[in-house]
Amino acid sequence: MADLVRLTLATDPEITCKDTWRFVLQPLPDADYVIMDLEIRGRSGCEGHPKTIAALLRGRRISEIALDDLRTTECSRHQSCGQTLAKVLEDLKKGLDIS
C-alpha cells in the first residue's frame, strides 16, 4: 500500500469558525483515498462538531461522502462545519482527481 498523504487545507475565517482542516489519507489502487485521520481547528466555535465530524469520516472513502447532504447543514454562523467540509472535500477531490 502506498504511503499516507498528509494535506492541510485552509478556509476563510471570516466565513466559518473552523478554518484549518488537516487530513491524513490512505491512497487506494482505484484512485480513491480513505480518510485515516482528520483534525479540524479554528480560533472560535464549539469543539464538539469538529470532533464528531472527524469520528464519522475516519475510515471512509472520500468518493462515498455525500457532499450534497453536507451542504444542507446550517449554523448560526455564515457557514456551517458541514458546509465548509463539503467545500473542502470538493476541492480535495478535484486536487486528487477523485470521481
Helix/strand/coil for 24: strand
pTM of the model: 0.86
Read off the C-alpha cell for 43: 480560533
Structural domain harbouring 48:
5-96
CATH of the domain at 72: 3.30.390
pLDDT per position as a tens digit, 37-50: 999 998 887 788 88
Q: Give the model's pLDDT for residue 15.
A: 83
Q: Domains in the chain: how many in total?
A: 1
Listed residue (18, 26, 20) closest to 96, CA to CA: 26
pLDDT per position as a tens digit, 63-76: 999 999 888 888 88
**Residue 31 buriedness (CB in 10 A; 0-12 / 13-18 / 19+):** exposed
Inform me whether the pLDDT recorded for 1 exceeds 60: no
Place of cell 504511503: 3
Q: Residues 97, 60, 48, 40: is their CA dihedral positive or negative?
A: negative
